[in-house]
Structure 1
């Protein structure tokens, strides 16, 4: 796989890592397209993750953790990035579940990703705890 800006972030979030403990190796045109979109966006997200503006939620999505220190344009950018990323992640979870023959288990796929990404998060990134509070890894 080619390295791209922010590729370390993308590598944390690719399905292969999330399913490392599973025997799931699935790739469809839809999944490849979603993965490409996530990879393309990763370079824009990494700075906000490192700065603590964005954190990893406990449900396999990204959340805005704080916006202090950001100007209005940056706040808009963070909102737009998080919204786009979360839409893609939800699509990815659904596509993987469908491609593996268990369309009713999207929530389980999402939980697998959430656990994996939280474990692989970089030191200093913010993680949402089950009670909704935040802590740094």
Structure 2
């Protein structure tokens, strides 16, 4: 008796040896950058929600439970997902993976804490005066040295150099911590945009080679 099914099974096994492409998770990177940046410069206070109980459409307070409305006549129940036999051989419907981005490693957290302390103790006042600004490459630059008091210039320049050292380190560390050192330039680009997005009113940033005030 011939086993006609063996060639088919062998073909499935060979097909299972596929290369899974891992794409840069841009949305996850933006969320990670937002969390990191806001922790460094401090989140703006949001307006508290209005007091009082939520009400439903009849003006009555919402109860603890929720009744399920009956399905309209003729509407079928939602069907369960169909079984995919390819999963048995390690082949899913999609052959691409999009990993999360983590910024919660000891090295990254240590850099974040240093940057937060430095920003609040030294850098923030000089962003407020316009002496400092966010560069287009995710670093900090002295935009207008004339706005720096003479007695503060050495300390501010040293703080800017230290901060840029930490910035370069954290972009590299995030890429390495997530298993993709080749993502460093993309991580830097995402963070550069987030520093601008999180900048407070009156702060300066570079865009297209020119300075703009938010």
Q: Provide the TM-score with structure 1 as the length reference.
A: 0.80
The total of aligned residue pairs comes to 121
Would you tell me which structure has more helix in proportion to its own residues? 1
Q: 1:47 aligns with which of 111, 114, 125?
A: 125
What's the RMSD between the two structures over aligned residues?
1.9
3-state SS of 2:212 partner: strand
Per-residue CA deviation, residues 16-68 of structure 1 (Å, 9 max, x unaligned), is: xxxxxx94233211111111111110111110000000001111110110011
Q: Is this contact kept in 1: 2:102–2:177, CA < 8 A?
A: no
Post-superposition, which runs of at least 4 consecutive aligned residues in structure 1 deviate over 6 A? none
Pair member with larger Rg: 2
Q: Which has the higher contact order (CA 8 A, sep 6+)?
A: 1
Name the structure 2 match of 1:93.
171
Q: Provide the TM-score with structure 2 as the length reference.
A: 0.53
1:9 Cα deviation (Å)?
A: 5.3
Name the structure 2 match of 1:104.
182
Unaligned runs of 5+ in 2: 1-37, 44-98
Q: Is this contact kept in 1: 2:133–2:143, CA < 8 A?
A: yes
Name the structure 2 match of 1:62.
140
Per-residue CA deviation, residues 65-87 of structure 1 (Å, 9 max, x unaligned), is: 00114333211122111101000
Q: Is this contact kept in 1: 2:39–2:116, CA < 8 A?
A: no
- The answer to whether the aligner puts 1:11 opposite 2:42 as a matched pair is yes
Q: Is this contact kept in 2: 1:31–1:92, CA < 8 A?
A: yes
Unaligned runs of 5+ in 1: 1-6, 13-21
